[in-house]
Amino acid sequence: MAPILSLRELARGFVRRGRVVPALGGVSLDVAAGEFVTIVGPSGCGKSTLLNVLCGLLPPSAGQVLYKSAPVRRVNTEIGYVTQADNLYPWRTLRENVEFPLDVRGVGRAERSRRAAALIERVGLGGFEDHYPYELSGGMRQRANIIRTLVYDPEVILMDEPFGPLDAQTRLILQDQLLGLWDAARKTIVFITHDLTEAIALADRVVVMTARPGRIKRVCPVPLKRPRDLFHLHDDEQFRVTYDTLWDDLAAEVRRAAE
């Protein structure tokens, strides 16, 4: 089957003080429909830039993104984007925030309410529907941020370090929930993280990027069976072997980025 996303020698630079600084250095990758791909790389290597180019928010300086074999030329509305900071509207309740993307798409009231309620329940936010974002914990807000993208059922979901600011235990719970949601719907996910354990725990394949300008250093299939027990990953020999292999690559790039 043709890949749902195809990146061909994608490059992107930014002009700084009159000079072009390359951020992405030529990235080629195919992502299959239903695949869960995670991307790790040192800070500043162009990971967020890559997602912005992928969904059509930012044009590449060179190369191409193909979505279902057609070149992407504008913002692709079949792609959902979960950003690192939650962008919940502070003046809307949880329910209104989750329903909002459906409202924009003209989905009727009953259907809106049904779809939002099912997801809210699914991620354990039942009972908080009428709370405003400031009344929710960081973990709850991030859950809300994710389900309000899932609610309109995009084909592809991009996630930019969505669990970055959360504590380790909350992250584990949200990772586990995300895998549950993905397993139920089998959408394509491209997930950025700086946490190698998280990258391996979630993915079918882990992509390691080099220091800026970001290129692909290695693509590694994850040999762990699903469903995965994220709470006991470290007991798994295959996990440890995968981690050690990828860590050498990643550590070298993190060091280079710091030079």
Binding residues vs ligand ADP (CB under 6 A): 14, 16, 23, 41, 43-49, 212
The interface with Mg ion within residues 36-55 (CB under 5 A) comprises: 47-48
> Of the two residues 85 and 185, which places its CB atom closer to ligand ADP in the complex?
85
Least distance between ligand ADP and beta carbon 255 (Å): 16
Q: Which residues contact 258 (CB under 8 A, 6 or more apart)?
A: 42
- Residue 83 interacting with Mg ion (CB under 5 A): no
Least distance between Mg ion and beta carbon 207 (Å): 14
- Residue 93 interacting with Mg ion (CB under 5 A): no
> Of the two residues 46 and 139, which places its CB atom closer to ligand ADP in the complex?
46
Least distance between ligand ADP and beta carbon 153 (Å): 27
165 makes contact, choosing from ligand ADP, Mg ion, none, with CB < 5 to 8 Å by partner type, with none
Least distance between ligand ADP and beta carbon 86 (Å): 17
Place of tokens 């003046």: 91
The interface with Mg ion within residues 95-154 (CB under 5 A) comprises: none
Which residues here bind Mg ion, judged by CB under 5 A?
47-48
